[in-house]
């Protein structure tokens, strides 16, 4: 047995379904708007953090303070200079030791023959 509905009943039923669909779309739109607001706040906070990090990494011309990148470069150069100085000092000590050893070797051979 087929249910026959009038046009008024069909239109009323479609109207209710459209209202439910519109409410659902409004909820989805509201959620999307809230999500975009939250994401925008996150991006703004992240930009502040990134600017702070860049402040540490880059040189500051206003305060004449070196950034970490420049400071690391200077520190590496200083460390290499210290290592080179230590190698030169070791070479001097070894050279002086060799000269002294040769001198005493000569003295012992000359005097204790």
pTM of the model: 0.47
66: nearest Cα among 76, 77, 82, 55: 55
- pLDDT band for 63, please (50, 70, 90 cuts): confident
Taking only Cα atoms into account, the Rg of the chain, rounded to an integer number of angstroms, comes to: 42
Mean pLDDT lowest among 9-13, 66-70, 73-77, 80-84: 9-13
| Shared domain check, 82 and 40 | no
Domain match, 32 and 1 both: yes
* Domain shared by 108 and 96, yes or no: yes
2 pLDDT above the threshold of 60: no
pLDDT, tens digit, 9 for 90 and up, residues 86-110: 999 899 999 999 999 999 888 888 8
Tokens of 22: 């519109």
Enclosing domain of residue 74: 61-113
Handedness of CA 4, 7, 9, 14 (dihedral sign): positive
């Amino acid at each position: 047995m087929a249910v026959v509905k009038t046009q008024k009943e069909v239109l009323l039923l479609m109207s209710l379904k459209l209202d439910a669909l519109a409410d659902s779309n409004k909820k989805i739109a509201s959620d999307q708007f809230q999500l975009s607001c939250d994401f925008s706040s996150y991006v703004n906070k992240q930009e502040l953090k990134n600017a702070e990090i860049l402040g540490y990494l880059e040189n500051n011309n206003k305060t004449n303070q070196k950034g970490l990148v420049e400071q690391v470069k200077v520190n590496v150069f200083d460390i290499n200079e210290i290592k080179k100085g230590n190698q030169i000092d070791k070479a001097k000590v070894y050279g002086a030791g060799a000269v002294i050893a040769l001198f005493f070797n000569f003295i012992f051979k000359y005097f204790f023959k």
